[in-house]
Amino acid sequence: MKKALITGITGQDGSYLAELLIKKGYEVHGLVRRSSTFNRHNIDHIFTTDTGRHRHLHYGDMADMNSLMSILKKVQPDEIYNLAAQSHVKISFEVPSYTAQADALGVLSLLEAVRLLGLNSKIYQASTSELYSGDRKEAPQNERTPFHPRSPYGVAKLYAFEIARVYRESYGMFVVNGILFNHESPRRGMNFVTRKIVHGVAEVAAGKRGYIELGNLDASRDWGYAPEYMEAAWEMLQQQTPGDFVIATGETHTVREFAEAAFARAGITLRWEGAGADEVGIDAASGKTLVKIDPEYFRPNEVDYLCGDAGKAFVSFGWKPRTTFTKLVEIMMDSELSKVTIQPKASKIDTQIGVGCLEITDIEKRYVNEVLESGRLSQGPFIKRFEREFAAAHDARFAIMVNSGTSALEMAVACLKEVHGWRDNDEILCPAVTFVASSNVILANNLKPVFVDIDAQTYNIDPVRDDVCKI
């Protein structure tokens, strides 16, 4: 039985590749990074027992060569698929050093570890269409098109590409570079534009949000279906001699087209008005604005046009795409629509809000995963989005996120004091059963809390009672 080691196994590509290799009879191992939160939803159905997870998933890091050598020595893989990366282009501008460590030097560490251990492992290095400049005149891009990356991510991947080639030529190692153009699926991370679109459109269709926000609508990409691209990755390691291969559909579509197709699958026809940052997508039937532009999502240096030529892969091992652009959008949209139509579980308490009763539905889980996958736990785009949507829902000009409920209460009381002309030491009614913050924010504004009895069912002050008792 062949053994395969997949770095980045928890991601979209890693999970599909693991499924493929298991079907082909491989013993599959994966490298996972240690973190305080698990992000393994893509592979939970593959490694279903504690024993399986312990045996086949190994803690390590591409930036830690010692951990790589330890795992390689233990697993002794026949094939290595290096899919691990900080793979978000926009985020690479925010964390360029980390991107270089993981995507460039991590590849060097892996290659050197294999060489030092004397392994005969075949190695697949996941490369990217972000190596190219995106100049329309160079399209379709193939293995002979000059590289000219426009982001820290692209530059890191270019180093990885070249160091893989150098180890192949210098040490006779079987190393291939798979130059994969954009490939998507329902397992795509939430911070990638395609998944962001289908997720947002599904929520708009379900009435869970008013609109979605996008960046450059005219960026053109060659989008394919991820499981088919992993078939190509496997094929590359089955060749007699190693080489580099472009994998792409040969078609290009804009972000605008992707959004139109996604809304169409939800039964909504878009029309566009305005230009630049003021352009909006409008529901042709209702006139509601469903798409807005947020310059926050613009890249500092955009790759405008990508369209790949996978002719070499077809000639070498017969690979060609099977899933059309329209079908790809349908697959992703149908997955998202099936999620938003699931009704939340019935509340455990019908007459009051439970104190300490935890109820988390799939909606909350998805949003938590979105934040974790974005790489920003605070001061990220989700905060701005929440502020805008919360303000719109309450017909307010502004909404401001703060660090805690206590801070929000303190600001609210300060505003009320200013608006209504309350004076220092004025009495403010406060429920007797509450958290200390409720009274502390009153004291912090130089007011006097007066505790009153509560309604036994709701735990709140009953505003219609005329016999409210002071405590």
C-alpha neighbours within 13 Å on the C-beta side of residue 58: 24
Rounded-to-integer distance, Cα 406 and Cα 411, Å: 9
Sign of CA dihedral 371, 373, 374, 375: positive
The residue type found at 9 is I
Q: Are 219 and 303 in contact (CB under 8 A)?
A: yes
Per-domain boundaries in the chain: 3-339, 368-452
Catalytic machinery residues:
128, 130, 153
Residue 246: exposed, middle, or buried by beta-carbon count in 10 A (0-12, 13-18, 19+)? Answer: buried
Q: CATH fold of 3-339, please?
A: Rossmann fold (3.40.50)
The overall pTM is greater than 0.85: no
Q: How many Cβ atoms from other residues are within 10 Å of residue 207's Cβ? A: 8
Is 368-452 CATH 2.40.70.10? no
One pLDDT digit (tens) per residue for the chain, 471 residues: 999 999 999 999 999 999 999 999 999 999 998 765 567 888 888 887 777 777 899 999 998 999 999 999 999 999 999 999 988 888 899 999 999 999 999 999 999 999 999 999 999 999 999 999 999 999 999 999 999 999 999 999 999 999 999 999 999 999 999 999 999 999 999 889 999 999 999 999 999 999 999 999 999 999 999 999 999 999 999 999 999 999 999 999 999 999 999 999 999 999 999 998 899 999 999 999 999 999 888 888 788 899 999 999 999 999 999 999 999 999 999 999 998 864 334 434 444 455 555 566 666 676 677 777 766 666 666 677 777 777 766 767 778 888 888 999 999 999 999 889 999 999 998 888 888 888 999 999 999 999 888 877 777 887 666 555 665
**Cα 371 from Cα 380, distance rounded (Å):** 9
What is the full DSSP assignment across 292-317? EE-GGG--SS---B--B--HHHHHHH
Which single residue is written with the structure tokens 């149908």?
A: 334
